[in-house]
Amino acid sequence: MKLADDPEVEAFRAEFSAFLAAHLPAEAEARERSRSSAHVPGWARRWQRALFDAGWLLPGQPPEYGGRNATLPQQLAHLEELASRRIYHSFNPQGLGIVAASLLTFGSDEQKRRWAVPILRAEITAALGMSEPEAGSDLASLRTRAVAEGDAFVVNGQKIWTSGAHDADVLLTFVRTDAEAPRHRGISALLIPTDSEGVVRRPFGSIAAEDDLDFNEVFFTDVRVPRENLVGPLNEGWQVASGSLGHERTLLWLSYAERLEDLVRDTADVGADQEWYASLLMDLQALRLLGYRQLGPDRDPAEISVLKLLGSEAVQSASLHALEAHGADGLCHPARTGPSHHMNHELFVSSWFERYARSFAGTIAGGTSEIQRNIIAERILGLPR
């Protein structure tokens, strides 16, 4: 399958390319680097606001939310232009791609004004409070409780793996509001400001380094949250959660394609293994072609799981091969294994050890590979549960 050139899409692409050429921050301006997925340096905040004001932040949204009502093929062209220039879309990826997107889908007009627009304009940053110590991929097992008291909810519990929480201004947090309801019911979504009394955030290091502080434990002790911060209907948080992950997954395959292209470029010195290198190129091509199928009128939402599974596992497999092929040198850390760009994130060209270690995030976040296989088996292949 090959996408035919669409004059409207190509005109859209050319307009965005011209905007980038005229407004991209200079390297000297971008010296401060992001410390976590919710820490956005000043220059990056200004850049994100410029994209928002010009309608280039989320082109599929209407102008009041940083877009221009772009079609899905135009949105793909937008992301491809960013990728070709190695421009990281936002240094608060969950805030932009999940939290704000969820508010635009499920939030009230007031929540969109008060929370979504400031997140989109990088005036505040956001993180996603979903996983718990005994409820990682199984959100239905969450135990963080929210009890209604007058005009507020009182929240008690714990979240973990909450990326960027210590730098975020607000958490989109999933809580249990009806303990007697079935597992997938009785869950609600709350916006909890991180400066609320009773919120404690504890960042901790990752497998990449002790000082790689992005993951957090977050503790809630009698935290009072105004009822107006309830996102969507009470006890209908499962729908919000499914929509949140849907926002994360829709064009997620393109980020995996970018990582595979990086590996094609950065593993030229181990290309003597022709069979492996050919497999890498075929995985990249297959991922792109399957991704393009999702742009057509007959797309099946369940097929996004195929893209997620293929993309994340192809990146992980190729990263492991590159690490092993470089032998002891691959374990040198920190190190740089590809060309850097001031608008990109350094972790994409870090040591081979780190690139492989970080590949596991792709097979876990947004639904584990096991979950994707279950979806494929049940919804595409029609196998029994």
Residue 376's contacts (CB-CB under 8 Å, 6 or more residues apart) are 302, 305, 306, 309
Q: By the 8 A CB rule, do 194 and 160 touch?
A: no
The DSSP letter of residue 112 is I
Contact between residue 107 and residue 139 where contact means Cβ atoms under 8 Å apart: no
- The answer for residues whose C-beta is within 8 angstroms of residue 249's C-beta and 6 or more apart is 304, 305, 307, 308, 366, 367
Distance of CA 178 to the CA centre of its chain: 29
Q: Which of 248, 324, 354, 370 is catalytic?
A: 248
275 is an active site residue: no
The 3-state secondary structure of 274-292 reads HHHHHHHHHHHHHHHHHHH
Structure tokens at 25: 């921050």
- Tokens representing 174? 């999933």
**Would you state the structure tokens that stand for residue 145, as one six-digit string?**
């409780």
Q: What are phi and psi of 223, to 5 degrees?
A: -80, 125
Phi/psi at 26 (5° precision): -75, 160
Report, in this order, helix, strand and coil percent for the chain, each rounded to 5.
50, 15, 35
Residues 6+ apart with CB under 8 A from 263: 280, 315, 318, 319, 322
Q: Is 198 exposed, middle or buried (0-12, 13-18, 19+ CB in 10 A)?
A: middle
**How far apart are the C-alpha atoms of 129 and 172, rounded to whole Å?**
6
**Closest of 175, 177, 179, 180 to residue 190, by C-alpha:** 175
Bridge partners (DSSP) of residue 176 are 145, 187
Q: Identify the residue whose tokens are 């991180």.
A: 194
* Residue 147 C-alpha from the chain's centroid: 30
Structure tokens given for 246: 């849907």
| Residues annotated catalytic, as ranges | 248
